[in-house]
Structures are given as C-alpha cells and as structure tokens.
C-alpha cells in the first residue's frame, strides 16, 4: 500500500500545478464533440474517487464477495457540468477526495486487503487489486489525456 499511497500523494500535489499551468483553452477544449475536455477528465477522476471511496469502505465490512455496482461515467460528467465549473473548484474536489482515499488506505488492516469483490460477470478480485486498479485508472487518464498536448 505504501507505493499506492505515494503515487496518490504525488498526484494530489502535482496535478493541480500541471492543470493550472494550462491555458483556459487547453484545459477546456474538447478534442471532438463526443470526447471530454481535460477539465472534464479531472471531473471524471473526482467521480471515480467518489465511487471508489464507497467501495473501499464497504468491502471491509459487507458480506463477501462485495458486488461492485457500476456507474454511468458519461452521465455523471454530463449531469455535474464540469465543463462549466471553475477549474480551481474541480481541482479542490480532486484533492479532497483523494486525501480521503489516502486516509482510508492508511487505515485498512492488512488482512482486509485480501477481501473479495465481484467486479462483474462473476469475476472476483481482492480489495488490494481494486485499489491498485483505481490508481492505474487515474494515472492512465492523467498521463495519456491530461498531460499530453
């Protein structure tokens, strides 16, 4: 977990600097009508954090395997109108949610990392896998969509 926590802390501190260094045009431009802007991608990362906070908490005490409920990512971004929000608000939300995730991860007993969850189609993974997947998902969006020109 130490590596995951370090990676999360890195992005909590560095993503705001990266995003605020971009012009409003760069952060708000949609590459095509059906693609998110970089600002909306940061919003999507907030939505991912919201959903994963619930998962990381509930897996620790609910019956195993905990069944992961999916969410409609496109609708979450659209309904919350991230494109019209101030970037600073979205960045603050990103930081706050991921600080909460770090807090949760620090306090997960080691034996609970092997607790099982059903990620769909009766595929079972551990809580540790889900946490790692969360960070990899975040880094995929940051490295491949936000930080590229």
Q: What is the pLDDT of residues 15-26, one digit of tens each?
A: 999 999 999 999
Q: Where are the domains of the chain?
A: 2-21+35-123+141-146
| Residue entry with tokens 């769909």 | 120
pLDDT (tens digit, 9 = 90+) per residue, 24-61? Answer: 999 999 999 999 999 999 999 999 999 999 999 999 99
Residue 31 in tokens:
């590459």
Hey, which bits of 73-127 come out as E strands?
116-118, 124-126
In the CATH hierarchy, which top-level class contains the domain 2-21+35-123+141-146? mainly alpha
Return d(Cα 9, Cα 28) in angstroms, integer: 25
Residue with tokens 């802390």: 9
**pTM of the full structure:** 0.96
Residues 146, 26: Cα–Cα separation, whole Å: 10
């Amino acid at each position: 977990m130490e590596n995951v926590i370090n990676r999360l802390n890195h992005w909590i501190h560095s993503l705001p600097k990266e995003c605020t260094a971009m012009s409003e045009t760069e952060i708000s431009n949609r590459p095509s009508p059906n693609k998110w802007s970089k600002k909306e991608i940061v919003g999507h990362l907030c939505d991912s954090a919201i959903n994963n906070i619930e998962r990381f908490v509930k897996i620790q005490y609910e019956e195993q395997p905990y069944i992961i409920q999916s969410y409609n990512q496109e609708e979450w971004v659209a309904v919350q109108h991230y494109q019209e929000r101030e970037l600073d608000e979205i960045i603050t939300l990103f930081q706050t949610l991921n600080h909460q995730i770090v807090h949760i991860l620090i306090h997960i007993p080691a034996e609970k990392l092997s607790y099982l969850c059903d990620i769909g189609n009766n595929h079972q993974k551990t809580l540790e896998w889900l946490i790692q997947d969360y960070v990899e998902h975040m880094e995929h969006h940051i490295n491949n969509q936000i930080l590229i020109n």
